[in-house]
Structure 1
Amino acid sequence: MRVVVAPDSFKGTASADSVASAVAEGWRRERPDDEIVSAPLADGGEGTVEGFAVARPDGIRHDVEVEGPEGPATSAWLELPDGTAVVELASAAGIELWGTNQPFTASTHGLGEVIASALDAGATRLLVGVGSSASTDGGAGMLAVLGARIIDADGDAIGPGNAGLADAVALDLSSMRPVPAGGVVVLCDVSNPLLGPFGAAAVFGPQKGAEPDDIPVMNGNLSRLAALGTVDPATPGAGAAGGTGWALLQWGAEIRSGAESIGAELGIPAIVATADVIITGEGRFDGQTAAGKAPAYVAALAPGRTMLVAGSIDADVSAFPAAVSLVDLVGRDRALNDTIDALIEAGAALARRASEPDLS
């Protein structure tokens, strides 16, 4: 059989590339004669640049030292031969870089620095993954780095993070760097608006340390920023990455499904079309997966031929002929602490399932 392994990363434990390699190793133990094709994916979050780098060896990686949400950090962007720059928020202003649990102060400043680096190098098109954000600043830090002026009543620049938005009285985009000729595409796996009960603060704030009493304050600060702009805060995806989606729209970007857009850029539909079996996966398969995350995208490309591996499974998997949860397979401790070994076992388990009569 021809087997394509196309997982997302297991956030915080294994990159998409290492997940694919481990699953493939386990599969080969049981079915050594099968052809295996590794096609790691991303949906705009952690691992987006890495995923492109693996699939596009003709790309050039550029490391960038940035001001992360909690001090200096090293981010990167990938230069493709056609002038496209692949950028991700996660390595510049991501939640993995954030340890103080202070949701009001985290900024997207680092993302702005990475985008500026790509523009300085002559990028003619940007693909910006915005998943895994630490901040809820409405993208204000990013906008400021790119030349926007967000000022308080005294005419001074506002402070960082969501807290700084409370002082904003004007948003001036006239000195912003222009959008590159080929445009800016925001790779996003959520469709939340900026404000309200399904907005950036209410839905994602608790993941970044916000307490229940913080949510209305954070939402109010975002509302203050939104009132200064021209983009409708109800636009789907405006609430992505703590409102960074709204800021990028304000700059002139367009929002697209992360997994679908990345898959198209990497040629995943053509790769999957020739496979007998496809294996996809992510760290947590739950109710949010269907909103456009990698496993849902891959399963839609190859219904009935797609198997699933996940760290944990908390949603219906009837669309998959076989599914393995690492937690159920090896226990929670091993799933978290020995993820690669657990994934090897999962690959072997899926291969055994593929050899059963109803799947052969």
Structure 2
Amino acid sequence: MKIVVAPDSYKGTLDQYEAARVMVEGLEEQGHSCIMKPMSDGGDGLLHCFRSEGYDRIIVNVTGPEGNTVEAAYYMKDGTAVIETAEACGLHLIKGSHPLDRTTFGVGELLMHAVDQGADHIILGLGGSATNDGGYGMFMALGGAAIDEAHLPLGVFNRDISKVSELNAQSLRRFDGIRLTIASDVTHPLLGSEGAVRTFGPQKGIDESDLDRFEGMLVHLSEKAADVFPANHADTPGAGAAGGLGWMLLNISAEMQAGGELVAEMIRLEAEIRQADAVITGEGKSDRQTLGGKAPSVVADLSKKHDKPCHLISGQITEDLSDYFVGTYALVERDEDVKKVMADTPFYLKEKMQEIFPA
């Protein structure tokens, strides 16, 4: 059989590329022919989808979320740059800082570097960020400025936002002729009970008692931004992605696109599915939310379009998804098996592949 392998990551164990490699290895041992197409909905691991797509990997030193220098990578081909913002402000880079002492400054540096390398289309995945600064740091890196009530310049960290008396975008880097596309499955607004702080803040170390304080900072920033940006994107779906980084990107004329659909288009997934006998996708944990634009649902939709059987192999499946996939298979069949499977996910994933697709 010719099988397209298009999983998302199995969080905590395998990234998209690693999961696809394990699947392919198991299938090829059974005599099947495979096409490897790691997938993402714009969240963690976006870059892994482009490792085997002919893109150049570019390494650059940027400012990390805690203000120190970190090494970040992005991919580029034919004027299109793919940036994962977590490379510059991700949770994996945190070494113990308080959420007040973080910044998205490095994201702006990545954008500037890509433009200087000749990018005319930049795609930004917003998953995995450690920041809640509404893109304030990125704004500063792109040439924006902020002053306090004494007309003194402010720093680039989250804690500086409450002191902003005025934002100045006079020297802000313009992206004329450059298309900025946000790849994200997040639909949260910037503010409110469903906004950036209250939805994602606790995951980034903000204590329950501090949520109002951080919410107030973003309210204050959005009020000051109204003086320099013509449109108010605070309520735009996706503005709350990456701690409000999505909102600032919208302010500088980025467009929002469903991450899974965008990635599928860029890696030419549909063309491969059209020629396949079967399709496999998967993720760490699947439930009914998987069907709301997550990578496996995008793969399934393309498979249905071309009448190809699509199988879901996930770490855990907690709700019945058999109406959406031809076959659904969980690596963890009982709660007590979670630690065992996570300790050696490649073994269980490969075993499951060979069980489903024998020689």
Give the TM-score normalised by structure 1: 0.90
Give the structure 1 partner of residue 354 of structure 2: 348
User: What's the CA shift string for 1:200-243, capped at 9, x where partnerless?
Assistant: 01111111122222222211111111112242300011000100
Q: Distance in 2 between matches of 1:313 and 1:156?
A: 54
Of 45, 70, 75 in structure 1, the residue corresponding to residue 72 of structure 2 is 75
Of 18, 26, 36 in structure 2, the residue corresponding to residue 38 of structure 1 is 36
Of 165, 171, 175 in structure 2, the residue corresponding to residue 175 of structure 1 is 171
Q: Distance in 2 between matches of 1:294 and 1:243?
A: 23
Q: Distance in 2 between matches of 1:288 and 1:169?
A: 41
Of 61, 76, 92 in structure 1, the residue corresponding to residue 88 of structure 2 is 92
Matched-pair contact (CA < 8 Å) for 1:162–1:222: no
User: What's the CA shift string for 1:97-135, capped at 9, x where partnerless?
Assistant: 224263332221221111111112221121111111111
Give the structure 1 partner of residue 329 of structure 2: 324
Q: What secondary structure is seen at the aligned counterpart in 2 of 1:279?
A: strand
Matched-pair contact (CA < 8 Å) for 1:259–1:294: yes
Matched-pair contact (CA < 8 Å) for 2:140–2:156: no
User: What's the CA shift string for 1:184-215, capped at 9, x where partnerless?
Assistant: 00111111100011110111111112222222
Give the structure 1 partner of residue 268 of structure 2: 267
Output aligned runs, 1:121-160, within 5 Å.
Answer: 121-160=117-156
Q: Distance in 2 between matches of 1:102 and 1:49?
A: 27
Q: Distance in 1 between matches of 2:136 and 2:257?
A: 21
Give the structure 1 partner of residue 2 of structure 2: 2
Following TM superposition, by how much is the alpha carbon of 1:78 offset from its aligned partner in structure 2, in angstroms?
1.3
Following TM superposition, by how much is the alpha carbon of 1:180 offset from its aligned partner in structure 2, in angstroms?
4.8
Give the structure 1 partner of residue 285 of structure 2: 284
Give the structure 1 partner of residue 242 of structure 2: 241
Q: Distance in 1 between matches of 2:159 and 2:309?
A: 48
Give the structure 2 partner of residue 50 of structure 1: 48
Give the structure 1 partner of residue 28 of structure 2: 28
Following TM superposition, by how much is the alpha carbon of 1:28 offset from its aligned partner in structure 2, in angstroms?
3.4
Matched-pair contact (CA < 8 Å) for 1:124–1:180: no
Q: Distance in 1 between matches of 2:245 and 2:173?
A: 17
Q: 1:291 to 1:154 in 2, by over 3 A?
A: farther
Matched-pair contact (CA < 8 Å) for 1:46–1:132: yes
Output aligned runs, 1:206-245, within 5 Å.
Answer: 206-229=202-225, 230-245=231-246
Q: Distance in 1 between matches of 2:272 and 2:153?
A: 49
Write the letter of the residue equivalent to 1:242.
G
Give the structure 2 partner of residue 257 of structure 1: 258
Give the structure 1 partner of residue 228 of structure 2: none
Give the structure 2 partner of residue 358 of structure 1: none
Output aligned runs, 1:10-21, within 5 Å.
Answer: 10-21=10-21
Following TM superposition, by how much is the alpha carbon of 1:249 offset from its aligned partner in structure 2, in angstroms?
0.6
Following TM superposition, by how much is the alpha carbon of 1:13 offset from its aligned partner in structure 2, in angstroms?
2.4
Q: Distance in 1 between matches of 2:94 and 2:12?
A: 13
Q: 1:8 to 1:108 in 2, by over 3 A?
A: same
Q: 1:66 to 1:328 in 2, by over 3 A?
A: farther
Write the letter of the residue equivalent to 1:213.
S
Q: How many residues align?
A: 348
Of 336, 339, 349 in structure 2, the residue corresponding to residue 333 of structure 1 is 339
Q: Distance in 2 between matches of 1:43 and 1:17?
A: 14
Q: Distance in 1 between matches of 2:105 and 2:47?
A: 18
Any unmatched runs of 5+ in structure 1?
Answer: 356-360
Give the structure 2 partner of residue 299 of structure 1: 300
- Runs (4+) of structure 1 exceeding 3 A deviation are 156-162
Matched-pair contact (CA < 8 Å) for 1:276–1:305: yes
Following TM superposition, by how much is the alpha carbon of 1:147 offset from its aligned partner in structure 2, in angstroms?
0.8
Following TM superposition, by how much is the alpha carbon of 1:87 offset from its aligned partner in structure 2, in angstroms?
0.9
Q: Distance in 1 between matches of 2:176 and 2:355?
A: 47
Matched-pair contact (CA < 8 Å) for 1:126–1:180: no
Following TM superposition, by how much is the alpha carbon of 1:270 offset from its aligned partner in structure 2, in angstroms?
1.6
Q: Distance in 2 between matches of 1:170 and 1:316?
A: 52
Q: 1:175 to 1:288 in 2, by over 3 A?
A: farther
Following TM superposition, by how much is the alpha carbon of 1:321 offset from its aligned partner in structure 2, in angstroms?
2.3
Write the letter of the residue equivalent to 2:74.
W
Write the letter of the residue equivalent to 1:322.
G
Following TM superposition, by how much is the alpha carbon of 1:250 offset from its aligned partner in structure 2, in angstroms?
0.7
Percent of aligned pairs with the same residue?
A: 36
Question: RMSD across aligned C-alpha pairs, in angstroms?
Answer: 2.1
Write the letter of the residue equivalent to 1:334.
K
Residues 108-117 or 315-324, more deviating:
315-324
Q: Distance in 2 between matches of 1:157 and 1:328?
A: 57
Q: 1:156 to 1:257 in 2, by over 3 A?
A: farther
Matched-pair contact (CA < 8 Å) for 1:3–1:279: yes
Q: What secondary structure is seen at the aligned counterpart in 1 of 2:357?
A: helix
